[in-house]
Amino acid sequence: MKINFKLYASLGQYLPANAENHQIKLDVVEGVTPAQLLQQQGVPEAEVHLVLINGVFIPPSERDTPLLEGDELAVWPAVAGG
């Protein structure tokens, strides 16, 4: 199945080289969860702060919910600034 995978800020380094505008369409196995996909893509769990599926915040306790065909998974690291 296909999903739209987005990584922002410093997490962008974990996207495949052919990604554009911080995102890429990925073919994933049915039933994959956000936590599994992030692990498969080499994204360190400690760097993940915000996870959204189709624009809806997913707390850490729910990141084992399977993704569905056409979902958009967007992930941000913790951001500091002043």
DSSP string, 53-65: ETTEE--GGGTTS
Nearest residue to 38 (alpha-carbon basis) of 26, 30, 29, 48? 48
Residue 25 is part of a domain; what is its CATH number? 3.10.20.30
Does 72 reside within a domain? yes
- List the chain pLDDT tens, one digit each, 82 residues: 999 999 999 999 999 989 999 999 999 999 999 999 999 999 999 999 999 999 999 999 999 999 999 999 999 998 755 5
Q: Report DSSP state, residue 41.
A: T
pLDDT, position 79: 77
Question: What is the residue range of 64's domain?
Answer: 2-76
Give the count of domains, the chain: 1
Contact 28, 3 (CB under 8 A): yes
Instruction: Render pLDDT for 13-32 as a digit per residue (tens, 0 to 9).
Output: 999 989 999 999 999 999 99
What pTM, to 2 d.p., does this model score?
0.92
- Whether 65 maps to a domain, the answer reads yes
Q: Per the domain annotation, does 6 fall within a domain?
A: yes
